[in-house]
Structure 1
Amino acid sequence: MAKPPDTDGKGKPSASLFYVPLSQAILYWLKLGFISFGGPAGQIAMMHAELVERRRWISEQRFLHALNYCMLLPGPEATQLAIYIGWLMHRTLGGIVAGILFVLPSLLLLIALSWLYMAYGSLPAVAGVLYGMKPAVVAIVLAAAWRIGQRTLRNRLLAAIALAAFIAISVLRLPFPAIVASAALLGWLGGRLRPQAFSLGAGAHAATAAPGASHPPALIDDHTPTPPHARFSWAGLLRTSAAGSALMALAWLLLAWLFGADRTLAQMGWFFSKAALMTFGGAYAVLPYVYQGGVEHFQWLSAAQMVDGLALGETTPGPLIMVVAFVGFVGAWTHDAIAGQPALAGVLGALVAAWFTFVPSFVFILAGGPLVESTRGNLRMTAPLTAIAAAVVGVIASLALFFGSHVFRPAGQWEWPALLIAAAAAIALMRFKQGTIRVLIACAIAGIVLSYRV
């Protein structure tokens, strides 16, 4: 049980502000790592429901402020949000623990599935499960867009930004970075011309601030002072950035020394380092780049294997970008990265891909978090982030459309059973407020049953 804020003897919060035992936080982040299905939208919705609504570890405003920053960054935003909240609560150790536990179950599960895939060929037994779970994923993304939109689109102007983002990415095929930059520009202008429309304190956050609200005050509340470790300094920014860059460089030099700079593992380190800096908009924005490099340029795996890896990634918890572990495993296995030991090579390839993909996210949060905390309450800084959050709602909705087009009409014909499964899942999530895991299990069972239909 979380303890109330410490006081300085005069009834005022002390520098410690709040206290949630690190052991309790560890258990939560590990649990989240095992149940975080549904992609970044579903993962962010899970964190909001648990940390903002149920446990009250962090307020709505602080949660959205952190989320908006993570949306700006390249890399998996849900993972970065977990790192940010863990860091805010328990310093650097808390951020590192939160991030590792959020991705570790997904990494270990994908390594195991990749080994089964390479050792025993295709996975026909998974076909029925996939048939039921893919429509459920569409419903989960739609439900998350609805929930986040209810919190974010507080007026017509923000709703218009979301609609424009949806059209821009779905119809005009504009790149996600261009949409983010445009939304930030609109927010910057809006913060000067119509500041009330972009104020984080309006409307949506009344529940956390108003007397008699349905939620009690959060441990990290809207007006909780910034803890000492989260205060910005140029020395801290440079120190953390240098440490992260050194870790990346030393890891690559070690691979080059042990296996050769022009060999598979060192090539993977360099390639996934670049991919980590291009993942604006989530995994689906960077998958074409991974496909071009892994399939066409380096030929680590075939196009069919890439599709199979994506299907496996969709069925595992954690960030979808973890599909890079499958690419690393298959590439190191097929290219005999460790002579005569394909399984060991595959495991090392998966670890290399994960390391160079995720370490930049830790650096971005641990180095940039204090700067973001210093902008709270500064409308000129938060208005662009508010506009970006609105645009992201439209982008998430477009992701549901993208999923649906491939799940409901895979060969140009409507898959009515898949549509029915998605509709049932959406009703269960949005009308009856059922949990994500329960819905996924039910849909997987329905898929297995339907796969045996005559």
Structure 2
Amino acid sequence: MEPHQIASAPPPATVPAIPRREAWWFWLRLGCVSFGGPAGQIALMHRELVERRRWISERRFLHALNYCMLLPGPEAQQLATYLGWLMHRTAGGVVAGGLFVLPGFVLLMLLGAAYVTWGELPVVAGLLHGVKPAVTAIVAHAAWRLGRRVLRGWPLWLLALAALGALRAGLPYPAVIGGAALAGLLGGWLAPARFGVEAGTASAAGQIPPASGGSAAVAPAADGPASGATLPCLIDDGTPPPPHARFSAARLASTLAAGLALWALPMAALVLVFGAGSVLARMGLFFTRASLLTFGGAYAVLPYVWQGMVEAEGWVTPRQMIDSLALGETTPGPLVMVSVFAAFVGGWNQAVLGPQARLAGGLLAATVVLWMTFLPSFVFILAGGPLVEATHGRERLTAPLTAISAAVVGVIASLALAFGAHVLWPAGLAGGVDWTAAGIAVAAALALFRFGRGVIEVIAASALAGALLAIAGRVV
């Protein structure tokens, strides 16, 4: 029987069985087509799971999304993990979250091998020359979109500007986020109306855009239930949580212990085999910290990654970091996978397994960063899932999160400025402006801001422009 053919009935006493093979095949297909950033990925899950397949109700979906939005890390991947866990216990969560990431990782590693092998060829260099100014416009557009939703009132504008100035002055990213949270706590006490839900925190419902442009409402699939239908879902509003989703202190302790062991054992192996001061061990520690600070999405944490990988450690060059974001924008999966690509390039640059095994070294570095980046997300979901009801809607969390969201606008704007400086003035201010890059950046900005074109369209057009310029001999 198809899900949309289920007759109206009282809520079941237990969660109905959703075939594992069907669910896992869905998660694999989702991982292969999850382009468009978290908004598009969440919209796609909403369309497929809520409207077309009727596996989970709107309210249960948004309840899970609200929780994921409170966590550091990629919310779309965490949402997939949560829903997989709700349907099929721990194994379902691991499979859903893992398959959301795996296709993009494989593709990025193939692109990484091509990049380090052929990246200096004129046509390839031209493609990247066109994409990098487009990425600068995309990051600026992300700051603008978030700012429109979050910056409601002068205190939040002040926080955004302070975050921008602090990062440009060299203050570490964790200090900026911590300062914003403290400001939110204080602001929530002194001026709660300006730091409440109405002041800047969008509801989860507002985070679900259409899968392909248009208004904010998601249209039902052609083969799904009609608009306004009240047919029940397999996991409906009144369906009780399954036994594994009920809080247990013993289960919480065992999950946290397993998560700690899965972090500590690889770190210990890296230290024992390569040394505590090795590039791989330092990458593992650095990206563990980064994974716990990714409030506001990948654009928000990229300045911290830039500070660490480019400025502090020198594992990659500014150009390679921008190329990483350019390629990350064109592949499926969470945008934070940009860090994984940058780690591949860093492992290649640093020859972590020796000069004769640069590709293997890059792959090992990328695998280490992948593990350290996504392990906390799985632990947050598997450990915290049963506590969702207790954490949802607590007003004392609203003000700090609103303040962090405002600071994230400034953080993303800082990233756009850093990218713009390296793209438009590649030889420094004394070297003059790269007018071809400036022209592509302006065209990309017009396409995004004025005409509302999609990210993939803008990147494809910009890459084509760069290739044509290279053929014409206008790209050095």
Same fold flag (TM > 0.5)? yes
In structure 1, the partner of 2:228 is 214
Does the 8 A contact of 2:57 with 2:233 survive in 1? yes
- Evaluate the alpha carbon distance shift between residue 55 and residue 186 of structure 1 in structure 2; reply closer, same or farther with a 3 A threshold: farther
Cα deviation code 1:126-153 (max 9, x no counterpart):
337737974995799699979xx9xxxx
SS of 1:299's partner is coil
In structure 2, the partner of 1:417 is 443
Give the length in aligned residue pairs: 421
Give 2:382's match in structure 1, choosing from 366, 380, 384. Answer: 366
Does the 8 A contact of 1:141 with 1:396 survive in 2? no
CA distance in 2 between counterparts of 1:222 and 1:388 reads 30
Cα deviation code 1:373-412 (max 9, x no counterpart):
4556xx5x3x5677789889878987997788778x9578
In structure 2, the partner of 1:167 is 157
SS of 1:85's partner is helix
TM-score with structure 1 setting the length: 0.75
In structure 1, the partner of 2:128 is 127
Give the counterpart letter for 1:214 in structure 2: G
CA distance in 2 between counterparts of 1:45 and 1:399 reads 25
CA distance in 2 between counterparts of 1:184 and 1:23 reads 46
In structure 1, the partner of 2:363 is 347
In structure 2, the partner of 1:19 is 17
- Evaluate the alpha carbon distance shift between residue 113 and residue 450 of structure 1 in structure 2; reply closer, same or farther with a 3 A threshold: closer
CA distance in 2 between counterparts of 1:100 and 1:49 reads 21
CA distance in 2 between counterparts of 1:221 and 1:161 reads 35
Q: Kindly state the Cα deviation for residue 221 of structure 1 after the two structures are TM-superposed.
A: 2.7
Give 2:301's match in structure 1, choosing from 286, 299, 303. Answer: 286
Give 2:271's match in structure 1, choosing from 256, 263, 277. Answer: 256
Does the 8 A contact of 1:166 with 1:397 survive in 2? no
Give the counterpart letter for 1:38 in structure 2: G
In structure 1, the partner of 2:52 is 54
Q: State whether structure 2 residue 102 is matched by structure 1 residue 104.
A: yes
Which stretches in structure 2 are left out of the alignment for 5+ residues?
165-175, 209-216, 219-225, 426-432
CA distance in 1 between counterparts of 2:24 and 2:296 reads 28
- Evaluate the alpha carbon distance shift between residue 304 and residue 445 of structure 1 in structure 2; reply closer, same or farther with a 3 A threshold: closer
Q: Kindly state the Cα deviation for residue 368 of structure 1 after the two structures are TM-superposed.
A: 0.6
Q: Kindly state the Cα deviation for residue 63 of structure 1 after the two structures are TM-superposed.
A: 2.4
Pairs within 5 Å for 1:29-428:
29-122=27-120, 123-127=124-128, 130=131, 134=135, 167-168=157-158, 170-173=160-163, 175-176=176-177, 214-216=228-230, 217-339=232-354, 340-374=356-390, 381=394, 383=395, 415-422=441-448, 426=452
In structure 1, the partner of 2:430 is none
- Evaluate the alpha carbon distance shift between residue 62 and residue 425 of structure 1 in structure 2; reply closer, same or farther with a 3 A threshold: farther
Q: Kindly state the Cα deviation for residue 440 of structure 1 after the two structures are TM-superposed.
A: 2.7
- Evaluate the alpha carbon distance shift between residue 32 and residue 337 of structure 1 in structure 2; reply closer, same or farther with a 3 A threshold: same
- Evaluate the alpha carbon distance shift between residue 352 and residue 87 of structure 1 in structure 2; reply closer, same or farther with a 3 A threshold: same
Does the 8 A contact of 2:444 with 2:458 survive in 1? no
Q: Kindly state the Cα deviation for residue 195 of structure 1 after the two structures are TM-superposed.
A: 11
SS of 2:125's partner is coil
CA distance in 2 between counterparts of 1:337 and 1:103 reads 24
Give the counterpart letter for 2:113 in structure 1: W
- Among all aligned residue pairs of Structure 1 and Structure 2, give the percentage whose two residues are the same amino acid: 45
Give the counterpart letter for 1:421 in structure 2: A
- Evaluate the alpha carbon distance shift between residue 360 and residue 393 of structure 1 in structure 2; reply closer, same or farther with a 3 A threshold: closer
Pairwise CA RMSD: 4.5
CA distance in 2 between counterparts of 1:129 and 1:360 reads 35
Cα deviation code 1:248-296 (max 9, x no counterpart):
1111112223333332222222221122122222222222222222223
SS of 2:104's partner is helix
Give the counterpart letter for 1:256 in structure 2: V
Q: Kindly state the Cα deviation for residue 203 of structure 1 after the two structures are TM-superposed.
A: 12
Cα deviation code 1:96-121 (max 9, x no counterpart):
01111111112112111111121223
Does the 8 A contact of 2:130 with 2:465 survive in 1? no
Q: Kindly state the Cα deviation for residue 349 of structure 1 after the two structures are TM-superposed.
A: 0.8
SS of 1:171's partner is helix
Give the counterpart letter for 2:119 in structure 1: G
Cα deviation code 1:168-206 (max 9, x no counterpart):
554343745665677789899989xx99999x999999x
Q: Kindly state the Cα deviation for residue 39 of structure 1 after the two structures are TM-superposed.
A: 2.4
Give the counterpart letter for 1:245 in structure 2: L
Give the counterpart letter for 2:58 in structure 1: E
- Evaluate the alpha carbon distance shift between residue 242 and residue 400 of structure 1 in structure 2; reply closer, same or farther with a 3 A threshold: closer
Q: Kindly state the Cα deviation for residue 25 of structure 1 after the two structures are TM-superposed.
A: 2.0
Does the 8 A contact of 1:269 with 1:352 survive in 2? yes
Give the counterpart letter for 2:43 in structure 1: A
Q: Kindly state the Cα deviation for residue 310 of structure 1 after the two structures are TM-superposed.
A: 1.9
Does the 8 A contact of 1:4 with 1:219 survive in 2? no
Cα deviation code 1:53-74 (max 9, x no counterpart):
4333333332222222222222
Give the counterpart letter for 2:131 in structure 1: L
Does the 8 A contact of 1:161 with 1:183 survive in 2? no
TM-score with structure 2 setting the length: 0.72
SS of 2:336's partner is helix
Cα deviation code 1:217-272 (max 9, x no counterpart):
33333332222111112111111000010011111112223333332222222221
Give the counterpart letter for 1:83 in structure 2: T
Does the 8 A contact of 2:298 with 2:335 survive in 1? yes
